[in-house]
Amino acid sequence: MTSEDRFIPLPAFEEYPVDEMRDRARAFYEEMRKRRTVRHFSDRPVPRDIIESCILTAGTAPNGANRQPWHFVVVSDPDVKRRIRLAAEQEEEAFYGGRAPNEWVEALVPLGTDASKPFLERAPYLLVIFAESYAVGEDGDRTKNYYVTESVGIATGLLITAIHRAGLVSLTHTPSPMAFLNEVLGRPKNERAFLILVVGYPEEDAEVPEITKKSLGEIATFVESRRADG
């Protein structure tokens, strides 16, 4: 810390009575449990400022040393979407056609996915999220970033939450490998594509797989003090 590092009182913290906190926590869960990953997108346009607000939300994510090691490329240009679709489908054909181990392909059967990705052209927006492995200064010097994957993962979670909260649907799409995205989108070498978030309205007859989420007991363990006489 140098003498220039400044601290300010925690801004805008609001404390709620416990009952209200409980209601807020529950209500947010009720809202978030309605989120579904959607693969059938409408081509209905979405105003750009809504996407901008969602990206600003993503940018509030906690991250390593506040380096904010992310970059969001918002693609609505039909030609660029088409190039991404063609390149992604080429990778996916190799994936489904033999590159992926059988066990992996079998794990995807309940989701009904295959190498065809029409939503990459049809949805109004592809948000391509890049992770900045290191920063490059004006004179070309490299600065290390920290916990890049964790940071970008958290930011992506906030982005998905913001999009749901705004009333849109999304699909986390991870063509693998994704190096073609640097080329198509002209991103520098210090950035690697993290995932494509497909965003828009659902198709009117959109269907999703019938899946369930694990229970609280399955996903959480509480380590609490036990009374000696208990």
182 binds ligand IYR (CB under 6 A): no
179 binds ligand IYR (CB under 6 A): no
State the DSSP string of 65-97. Answer: GG---EEEEEE--HHHHHHHHHHHHHHHHHIII
173 binds ligand IYR (CB under 6 A): yes
Residues touching ligand IYR: how many (CB under 6 A)? Answer: 9
Smallest distance from the beta carbon of 138 to ligand IYR, in angstroms? 37
Name residues contacting ligand IYR, limited to 81-120 (CB under 6 A): 92, 95, 108, 111, 113
176 binds ligand IYR (CB under 6 A): yes
Smallest distance from the beta carbon of 68 to ligand IYR, in angstroms? 27
* Residue 69 or 202 with smaller CB distance to ligand IYR: 202
**Which residue's CB atom is positioned nearest to ligand IYR?**
113
Nearest to 87 by CA among 36, 47, 59, 121: 121
Contact between residue 119 and residue 39 where contact means Cβ atoms under 8 Å apart: yes
Q: How far is CA 50 from CA 37, 53, 68, 227, in A?
A: 19, 5, 21, 51
